[in-house]
Chain A
Amino acid sequence: MAWRGAIAVFLLAAGLSACDAFRVHPYAVPQDEWLQDLTQKNLAKIARIDPPETFSSAAFGDSQRWQDETSAVVPSINGDRDVLFAVHVGDITEFGLNQEYVWLNEYFQGLRVPLVTVIGNHDLLGNGGAIYDSVYGPRNYTFHFGRTKFVMLDSNSREYERRLVPDLAWLERELLPEPTWDRAIVVAHVPFDDDDFRRELREPYEAIVQRHGNVILSLHGHNHAFRDELIDGIRLVQADKMENRNWTKITVGPEGILDVQRVFF
């Protein structure tokens, strides 16, 4: 009888676990199908867009604990018909929790345009890195939009104790000139001039980015403030945090970056 009771309870628990309210662990990797491989799914959507010579994308980041504000960025981006895709520059979550990845992506499902992301240092907390890998995909990847190549890079140096991050060998390979693209934009959460970017990698990063003269922008987040500056000859744009209720509209043309402007909502 006791065994039957135990088996019944076990089966009941297994059945109930299908319900979202039965949360198994703050750092459990989400198992929902819609939360798997989002990078790949969104890159497929981007690949279906016929890229014009001049296009705009929406950069925003550091959504973190500001979920009310992050929910409001979605209609704001949707309202700008120039924007063809959006880029989250990292720190999607505050604590790297399962539930944050679920909730924030529920908002992002409302975006009219595809969304690609880079991982931020907060996203790596606890088991957050494994959750990011499952929800989005690789932490370093690239895609093309017309003649522009986007190089998405994990630059969260301080989060890795036993590994040199960012992976500059990979970056260098990806920035070698190819006939399929003319210009590149590097997107990474931690800016290369920040203390959280591994100090001994800053000069090599700058050298790689400048070597072929094809990188038109180094796009970042992390510092919770907007910046648009030339740092050692490299144009650095840093998107603001969501709490400040603005995103960055970046317009790219055949000659490079045409315009960078903040859009408040």
Chain B
Amino acid sequence: MRRLAASACALLLATGAGAAPAGQEEEAERPFWIPDAAQIQHAGNLGWIALGPAWAWWERRIHLALLFSWVPPFAGGTLTGVAGKVSIWPMELELDDQFFVRPLELGAVVHYTFGESYFIRQPDRYPASYYDYSTAVRVGLLAGASVGTARDLWIVDRSELYLEVGTTDLELYLHLRNPETRPLTDALHLAAGVLLWF
């Protein structure tokens, strides 16, 4: 029943919901395309809000998320895009019966901004190597941590709040090119989000 509810949620919301990975047998039964979690993120240079399905393997040590991002007008948009985010979470520490901490996340993200103003490679109207970078695609690295609870909440059987520090290629480049005025902290940004496991 829970799987049915979760699958329906995935189809309706496109944020994903999968069966609870209570054990490896059940995990093996689950079709690969059914997500394990819904992920919602603020900032991280992806969008004012970015949300979508996430999949996990190896007892949630490896995550893959597909996030649709949006910047509303009040936050400097309208901008829309899509991001692929892969990360590893090597450890989980149980605080008590209900709460846990995952103290380390390491990951990478690729973000694509939609719109004709953005290019992956420069349009034909420019001479060769006029702009030798993409305006549509940003790649980044991130590190983070989370706290969570394993309490059942409606169809959610596990919830996590995470905080990440990250950088993107151009932020890092501007820091490296300008060591006197742009310290490493200027190349870093923060993100906060939630993972809801089903």
Contacts and interface: CB of A to CB of B under 8 A. Distances in A.
B32 interface: no
Interface string B145-180: 000000001101001010000001011011001111
Contacts of B154: 1-2
A235 B179 CA distance: 38
Interface in B50-95: 69, 71, 74-77, 79, 81
B48 A5 contact: no
A29 B71 CA distance: 10
Contacts of A6: 40, 194
Nearest to B69: A25
Contact of A25 (B77, B123, B127): B77
A67 B181 contact: yes
Given A95-B170, A103-B182, A24 B153 contact: no
A28 B75 contact: yes
A127 B153 CA distance: 41
Interface string A21-36: 1111111111100000
Interface residues of A, number: 43
A24 B113 contact: no
Nearest to B72: A24
Q: Is the interface of B mostly helix, strand, loop or mixed?
A: mixed
A71 B179 CA distance: 12
Contacts of A16: 42-43, 190, 192
Given A6-B194, A16-B42, A17-B48, A24 B126 contact: no
Contacts of A22: 42-43, 189-192
Interface stretch (B20-28, B101-109, B130-138): B130-138
B75 A31 contact: yes
Contacts of B42: 13-14, 16-17, 22, 24
B153 A1 contact: yes
B133 A158 contact: no
Contact of B46 (A1, A25, A99): A25
Contacts of A67: 174, 177-178, 181-182
Nearest to B118: A126
Interface in A51-109: 65-68, 71, 94-100, 103, 107
Q: How large is the interface on B (under 10, 10 to 19, 20 to 34, 35 or more residues)?
A: 35 or more
Contacts of A23: 43-45, 189-190
A21 B174 contact: no
Contacts of B192: 9, 12-13, 16, 22
A169 interface: no
A111 interface: no
Contacts of B188: 21
A21 B190 contact: yes
A24 B47 contact: yes
A176 interface: no
A161 B116 CA distance: 11
B20 to A, nearest CB: 15
Contacts of B131: 125
A209 B78 CA distance: 39
Nearest to A96: B135
B45 A24 contact: yes
B28 to A, nearest CB: 27
Contacts of B191: 22
B113 A95 contact: no
B181 A29 contact: no
Contacts of A129: 117
A98 B45 CA distance: 11
A126 B76 contact: no
B79 A27 contact: yes
A113 B70 CA distance: 39
Contacts of B170: 26, 95, 97
B6 interface: no
Nearest to B186: A103
A9 B39 CA distance: 12
15 contacts: A2-B156, A6-B40, A14-B42, A17-B42, A22-B190, A25-B69, A25-B71, A30-B76, A67-B181, A67-B182, A97-B170, A103-B174, A125-B131, A125-B135, A126-B117
